[in-house]
Amino acid sequence: MTTTPNRFMAEYHEPDRGKSCVCGSGKKFKRCCAGSYSAEAAALFKETFNTGDYKNALVHARRHFTWYALSHKAHTLSLIEAKQDGAEEWLQLDIEALSELLENLHLCYYHLGISDEFLDVIDSVRNVIQDKRWDAKIAYARALWYLVDKHDENSAYVALQSIDIKLSKDPEILSLYLHVCPTRFTLSESVEILDRIIINTIKESVRLEYRVFKAHEYYLASQKQDGEKLFDEAISEFAELSDEEKSSYGRLQFATALASYGMLANRQDVLEDGRDAINGLIQEGEKENYKASYIAELHKMLGDCEEGLGNYDNAIKAYSVSLELNQSHFTKIFLSRSLCNNEDYNNARELLESIDEATFENPEKFDLAISWALLAAATLVETDIEEAKGRLKIIKAHDPMLIQLRDKWLIELLEAKPESEPGKIRKLISSLNKYVTMNPNFFGVGINVNRIIDDVDSVNKNKDKK
């Protein structure tokens, strides 16, 4: 048993060995984290999680949560009781840190296929901190579980109702609320919430992610000039940060921003920068032996850049590598486009027909309809045209840009005949081929099933000062 000062003081707050463990596992303390919890578990969690060893990652996540929860009682609570200067800052840090550690537990339960058990964990740890801000984090964890694990946006929204969103400054809660709120936001309403996220986050990766999201919102509202200005500012300011300020997840968001902006604005130079950034991340991931699903996502992004640059052979290769690593039906949507643009229409059609869209939400369905429309415009085969028209009719579009583009496609395809001149239709379709799913990954702030777990490092550095 370690005898570090942190551990020694924490020992006074351990539960009885026959009581439930602090981490919420449901096991007795003596059979779970007793004798093994420590700050060092953070590095072991990161190492095992990033290599896909989720079973051992869960062990380390539990041990780290227990260490921090007991350290909170040993240190921060004593500061609060003594009314010491800085106690409030330590309390806020503890709330944020334990929330992140609870997310790490969620990630492990999710990947191990035992996520139904995680609700019991949430219930078990709800009294770790006695503060309304921790209550809000518990509500957030429950809402996120409904969204990520059950694909139930309505229940996620209900779970957030105990929080006053108008007064909240919590980036995680606000980002989740944006995703699950059933009320459609105006541009000004959306931007107001995004600005609260951007101002209040301490993470440069999150700041970049939601500045890019804000730029997307202006694009979708057909305010292209404002959107491009916001993209330029977000990308250039992140690029100027020191290497120490750029986490791996931040560099992933940077590469994503370059790829997205390059596609939207048809900027070849930006796409080339994005391709270089992604290749760098692929080399890092392979060197560090990161999990296959993450490397697969990087190759998918590389394919997006190559597609935007018109390098269809390279795009096909990148998408194919991605699918070898992770059979994602979403990636197939984009591989089909490159096949189509490479005039391999039969394989493009077979790929589209093989897609299982059971778990697709509206943005993915929109992308699938786009790919069918691209194929229809290229082939002018009657069955392709009917398939594309049928899909475009049923997809939902709320943003002005997407409504306009969808309706233009429908008009052209409704008038299309097998013997029609394909030039006009193909020109229209190719203008939309650059649009990828416009929604950024909302789980960069919270549970991102593809993320590298290193943004917790900023919190870990503060934890070590306890």
| Residue 8, pLDDT score | 55
Q: Please count the residues of the chain.
A: 466
pLDDT tens across 182-213, in order?
A: 887 888 999 999 999 999 998 898 899 899 98
pLDDT at 263: 86
Spell out the domain ranges in the chain: 5-150, 344-443
Condensed to tens digits (0 to 9), the pLDDT of residues 413-451 reads: 656 655 555 555 555 555 544 444 444 443 333 333 333
Enumerate residues 6+ apart whose C-beta is below 8 A from 127.
none
Q: What is the mean pLDDT of residues 388-417?
A: 68
Interatomic CA distance for residues 140 and 300, integer angstroms = 30
Residues 6+ apart with CB under 8 A from 61: 23, 41, 45, 49, 101, 104, 105, 107, 108
Give me the phi and psi of 202, to 5 degrees please: -100, -5
pLDDT classification of 394: cutoffs 50, 70, 90 = confident
pTM of the model: 0.78
Tokens linked to 120: 């019991």
CA distance 288 to 273: 23
As a whole number, mean pLDDT of residues 384-404 equals: 75
